A and B are shown apart, each in its own frame.
Chain A
């Protein structure tokens, strides 16, 4: 396996396109041994749990690089990845020891930055549901829409960067397209919610 220096990975991630893919894979591969170490250190964690934690950690590092939050003079990419991955493993352990199902784990992931009181409130209003039902809706959404939303909401690209990546005229038209996609997704999920309520009532 070829080992890329940090500066090459950072530059590749920021340049986007095929180089982004190549460098995110390089970063992923460069520290795969952390997973082996975690498997020994946390026997309670299954391989998919460790893999999820590792992927989350790699993506968190990528997001820090893309947002220029990462400062290479403070730590190497591998060190940062190790720190984040260790924390993610602890989170996974907590979820497992609290016997949380997939739905709850997912809900926890997206509300983890909120105060505990708000997390409790959201859990109280959210009825237990099947994640696969929601994912079926997601599958029906067009691929372009999904990629567009991920660029904005997952990777945190700016509208101009998304426009460049996805071939929109400018940042504004990329934002509008994303807005339309989100509305479409909301409509579909809302419809699912309404149907479920109707079924429960009958």
Chain B
């Protein structure tokens, strides 16, 4: 290609000519085959470069192309929105469950606190000197210490009495030990202690069930507490309280 052609063609294609120059150039192209052929070559060169650049850029950007090969962006966006809503819903559910569980635990504790009173043991004879035997004396001392809230004295004595087969009120001693454990917030110990009360003891089985139910409430074991409260349905003393708690739960 003649060098003078190159400059003229570039000026024409780069839109650097005014109207007159442009028209003159076009007329020249119509007359001059060589110039026309050079113009066609230059156009093809530019087309090739343009296409090459386009392909290069497409391959470069395809590293992150999210559109190609996907059905509708719309769907993608909609799914994104659905996922966000689902995630939000899930979070709300988790929070609700956590809140519910927290409240339930708190409620059980509240029920326990509003119902727990130390088992009252009546000591007919007021001094150890009135006792008829050594065991009876020990029981008098333990009972009085229990009534006074002196757990350090009452605890070991009641443990001895609870393990003594000669002592007639063994279950009572165990019941008091369970109460002491509850008063000291040793819930697990209270449960294991109260479970030792003989269920065949007609005088104490409802008392034991009542305190066991309270111990379960304190530990958050709702089902076990309900089981014990159900037993209390036949107790004249505890029936009313038990059904009230069962309704609450």
Contact = CB atoms under 8 A, between A and B. Distances in A.
A146 interface: yes
B15 A114 contact: yes
A189 B65 CA distance: 33
Contacts of B36: 125
Contacts of A111: 13
Contacts of A44: none
Nearest to A35: B67
A128 to B, nearest CB: 12
Interface stretch (B50-58, B95-103, B139-147, B221-229): B50-58
B67 A135 contact: no
Given A118-B22, A150-B53, A186-B1, A134 B47 contact: yes
Contact of B44 (A29, A182, A189): A189
A135 B211 CA distance: 92
A138 B26 contact: no
B48 A135 contact: yes
B64 A32 contact: yes
A137 B19 CA distance: 34
A21 B48 contact: no
Given A28-B64, A39-B67, A118-B26, A189 B48 contact: yes
Nearest to A137: B48
B40 interface: yes
Q: Chain A: interface residue count, which band?
A: 35 or more
Given A154-B49, A189-B44, A36 B64 contact: no
A36 B65 contact: no
A106 B47 contact: yes
Contacts of A35: 66-67, 73
B52 A138 contact: yes
Interface string B24-66: 0010010000001101111111111111111111101101111
B248 interface: no
A21 B39 contact: no
Interface in A98-112: 103, 106-107, 109-111
Contacts of B29: 121, 125
Majority SS at the chain A contact face: helix
Given A36-B77, A40-B73, A189-B44, A121 B67 contact: no
Contact of B57 (A33, A55, A137): A55
B92 interface: no
A134 B40 contact: no
B109 to A, nearest CB: 48
A90 interface: no
A135 B50 CA distance: 10
Contacts of B43: 107, 110, 122, 126
A125 B40 contact: yes
Contacts of A50: 67
A150 B49 contact: yes
A116 to B, nearest CB: 12
A52 B19 CA distance: 32
A186 B42 contact: yes
B73 A149 contact: no
B236 interface: no
Contacts of B125: none
B72 A39 contact: yes
Interface of A: 21, 24-25, 28-29, 32-33, 35-37, 39-40, 47-48, 50-52, 55-56, 58-59, 103, 106-107, 109-111, 113-115, 117-118, 121-122, 125-126, 129, 131, 134-135, 137-138, 146, 149-150, 153-154, 182, 185-186, 189-190, 193
- Which 8 residue pairs across A and B have the least CB separation, nearest first? A36-B73, A138-B48, A154-B53, A134-B48, A35-B67, A110-B46, A189-B44, A190-B41
Given A28-B61, A134-B48, 8 more contacts: A25-B64, A51-B67, A121-B26, A122-B43, A125-B36, A126-B43, A150-B49, A185-B48
Interface of B: 1, 12-13, 15, 19, 22, 26, 29, 36-37, 39-58, 60-61, 63-68, 72-74, 76-77
12 contacts: A35-B67, A40-B72, A40-B74, A47-B68, A51-B68, A106-B51, A114-B15, A135-B51, A138-B49, A189-B41, A190-B1, A193-B40
